[in-house]
Amino acid sequence: MQSEQSSTTTPFCKVCFKDIRRYDFASLFEDYPICPTCFNSMEPKTVVTMLDGIKTTSLFVYNEKVKQMLYQCKGCFDIEMAEIFLSRHKAFLRRKYRNWTLVPAPSYGSKDQVRGFNHVVEIFKGLERPFIHAIMKTDNVKQADLNFAERQQIGKHLSWSGGVSVAGLNILFVDDLMTTGATAKACAKMLLEHGASRVEILVMARTIDPKKRKENEISFSQKLRQIVDGIKKKIRGKPN
């Protein structure tokens, strides 16, 4: 339920700063920090693939808009930007992963200290699941600086956090961006070796071959309708 306060203030899009409710039916049910126009410019597209036998889901195509927003979040330390990415997915994701524990992609500790926050945690904390920082980067290696062969050896730059256990847990490995998937693959392997009972990967955005972009497109309006129908069903099914 919306609070008294939010019903008297005008909600605005944190990306374009326009009034959201004028354009968005869905925001009558929940306060979203991003308007449908900005959201659609991020190319929401749920893609599910298997990466070395691990179910891997991505929610956006890594396009210029997403790149620019991620830069604002990571490069310009804009922590408010982080909650925007999954704001329209989180209700669904909370239900889907309600029994899962999140392991964020490894980061190099000093980078988080400079930023004052871990951007992956900030992006995914809307799922309201516990985080375990199980894997660390041992040096400040950047994927972008590595060639293909080096990326396949990414495991050399990763280490298990001392005293951390994932034994018997369903682990959802989460990251902001996936390109080759080398890091996610290496981490999933480590998690299984450390006794996780199940591992899946969820990334906010993924680089997708432009030719493949049009294929199998799940339109956003279709998905939104599914979510609204789900909410309606829930409301109807609730005993008084």
Using CA atoms, how far apart are residues 190 and 160, in angstroms rounded to an integer? 8
Provide, for the chain, the percentages of residues in helix, strand and coil under a 3-state DSSP scheme, each rounded to the nearest 5: 40, 20, 40
Give 32 or 97: the residue with its C-beta nearer to Zn ion.
32
Using CB under 5 A as the binding rule, the residues of this chain from 30 to 59 that contact Zn ion are 35, 38
Residue in 50, 155, 169 with CA at minimum distance from that of residue 102:
169
Give 41 or 58: the residue with its C-beta nearer to Zn ion.
41
Q: What minimum distance in Å lies between the beta carbon of 232 and Zn ion?
A: 26
> 139-167: string of b/e by CB count within 10 Å (b at 16+)?
eebeeeebeeeebeebeebbeeeeeeebe
Give 26 or 132: the residue with its C-beta nearer to Zn ion.
26
Using CB under 5 A as the binding rule, the residues of this chain from 149 to 208 that contact Zn ion are none
Give 37 or 179: the residue with its C-beta nearer to Zn ion.
37
User: Residue 15 interacts with Zn ion (CB under 5 A)?
Assistant: yes
Residue 232, token pair as written in the block: 């309606």
Contact pick of 2, 10, 16, 228 for Zn ion (by CB under 5 A): 16
Residue in 185, 174, 150, 160 with CA at minimum distance from that of residue 54:
185
Q: What minimum distance in Å lies between the beta carbon of 89 and Zn ion?
A: 17
Give 16 or 48: the residue with its C-beta nearer to Zn ion.
16
From 15-23, 114-122, 161-169, 225-233, span contacting Zn ion (CB under 5 A): 15-23
Q: What minimum distance in Å lies between the beta carbon of 162 and Zn ion?
A: 44
Site residue total, Zn ion (CB under 5 A) = 5
Residues in touch with Zn ion (CB under 5 A): 13, 15-16, 35, 38
